[in-house]
């Protein structure tokens, strides 16, 4: 089982992961020195207990001087690039801005890491795919997407992220690309001061504010709890250092198990809080037009992840339970992590 970043957890995980004390996350034994870019985001925060996670004022991947200074100052053995322009709708009007971070910045970071002999893991997205259902069949049973499936992004965000994947691997052939999807921190997000959107947190808030709400039921994906992805990444790095796996040069899919529509996920959130899930009503995407079209189908297969020797991330329902339990723990005064 991969190491889970669980606040206050004690004990051990596979590979000799040892708890470092109450209030500290599990840290896999033998973990290399890790620097994560995008320290102000979800994944950066999730990794901050075991990695250096500077904010943009300390490490700006669009500024080569800032990047070089940070790499030299922190001297990491591994960089996880979680910095990204993630405003999907905003990117439609600002593709140049998205490209500066998602493509050019990622490429320059990869080159700087290669020059210094630093291992690099680059985080990408399900938006690199077209969103079409494989074979045009039933999305509930259609084959989940593999890293080898054709990419055909339909949004500026997706185009700049796909170009970033290619640029990273061209500049640093031993880098690893990890695509994930539907990433959320959960209802504790607001207390953590994280910016940006979070579907689960939004559903928790709207359950309190509205009698009913409409949620799209024609988009299928892989809900992924940030803490689970962070734990999976740490497992990968510790296992690599121990010589048990080697993901250099690979593109993998790291996402929550199973599949859901946004409507199904919203209903599950309501149920977990004791609310009537029938208050969540299904609707079509065309009832909520947005500047950037959302993929109708972006369920990611974890076959490549497991084939690399890594433990599968938990089913999304199990991780939703974990996210809500973490929120309850924080609400009880268990800490800010």
User: What pLDDT is stored for residue 136 in this prediction?
Assistant: 82
pLDDT at 6: 41
pLDDT, tens only, 220-261: 999 999 999 999 999 999 999 999 999 999 999 999 999 999
User: pLDDT tens, 143-169?
Assistant: 999 999 999 999 999 999 999 999 999
For residue 23, the model assigns a pLDDT of: 34
pLDDT band at 137 (very low <50, low <70, confident <90, very high): confident
pLDDT value of residue 197: 75
**Token pair in block for residue 133:** 């259902």
Residue 20 has pLDDT above 70, yes or no: no
Mean pLDDT in residue range 61-82 = 96
Of the two residues 82 and 39, the one the predictor is more confident about is 82
| pLDDT confidence bin for 190, thresholds 50/70/90 | low
Least confidently predicted of 25-29, 226-230, 314-318: 25-29
Tokens of 159: 């185009």
Structure letter (DSSP) for residue 196: S
Q: At what angle do helices 226-241 and 316-331 cross, to 10 degrees?
A: 110
Q: What is the pLDDT of residue 18?
A: 32
Count the helix, strand and coil residues of the chain and give each as a percent rounded to the nearest 5: 40, 15, 45
For residues 267 and 38, what is the distance between their CA atoms, to the nearest angstrom?
Answer: 31
Angle at 140 between CA 126 and CA 3, to 5 degrees: 55
**Average pLDDT of the chain?**
89
Residues forming the active site: 157
pLDDT above 90 covers a percentage of the chain that reads 78
Check the CA dihedral 63-126-245-27 and report its sign.
positive
């Amino acid at each position: 089982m991969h190491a889970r970043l669980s606040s206050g957890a004690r004990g051990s995980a596979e590979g000799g992961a040892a708890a470092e004390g109450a209030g500290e996350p599990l840290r896999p034994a033998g973990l290399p020195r890790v620097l994560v870019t995008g320290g102000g985001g979800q994944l950066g925060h999730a990794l901050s207990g075991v990695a250096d996670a500077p904010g943009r004022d300390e490490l700006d991947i669009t500024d080569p001087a800032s990047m070089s200074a940070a790499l030299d100052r922190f001297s990491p053995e591994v960089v996880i690039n979680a910095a990204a322009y993630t405003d999907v709708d905003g990117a439609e009007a600002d593709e140049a801005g998205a490209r500066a971070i998602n493509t050019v910045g990622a490429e320059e970071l990869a080159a700087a890491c290669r020059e210094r002999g630093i291992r690099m893991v680059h985080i990408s997205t399900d938006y690199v795919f077209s969103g079409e259902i494989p074979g045009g069949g039933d999305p509930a049973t259609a084959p989940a997407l593999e890293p080898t499936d054709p990419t055909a992004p339909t949004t500026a965000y997706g185009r700049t992220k796909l170009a970033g994947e290619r640029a990273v691997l061209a500049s640093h052939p031993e880098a690893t690309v990890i695509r994930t999807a539907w990433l959320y921190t959960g209802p504790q997000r607001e207390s953590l001061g994280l910016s940006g959107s979070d579907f689960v947190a939004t559903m928790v808030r709207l359950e309190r504010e509205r009698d009913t709400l409409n949620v799209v039921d024609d988009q299928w994906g892989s809900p992924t709890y940030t803490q689970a992805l962070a734990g999976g990444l740490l497992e990968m790095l510790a296992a690599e250092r121990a010589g048990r796996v080697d993901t250099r040069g690979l593109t993998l899919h790291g996402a929550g198990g199973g599949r859901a529509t946004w409507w199904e996920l919203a209903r599950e959130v309501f149920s977990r809080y004791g609310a009537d899930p029938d208050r969540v009503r299904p609707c079509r995407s065309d009832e909520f037009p947005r500047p950037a079209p959302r993929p109708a189908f972006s369920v990611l297969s974890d076959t490549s992840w497991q084939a690399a020797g890594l433990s599968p991330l938990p089913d999304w329902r199990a991780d939703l339970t974990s996210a809500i339990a973490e929120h309850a723990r924080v609400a009880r005064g268990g800490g800010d992590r």
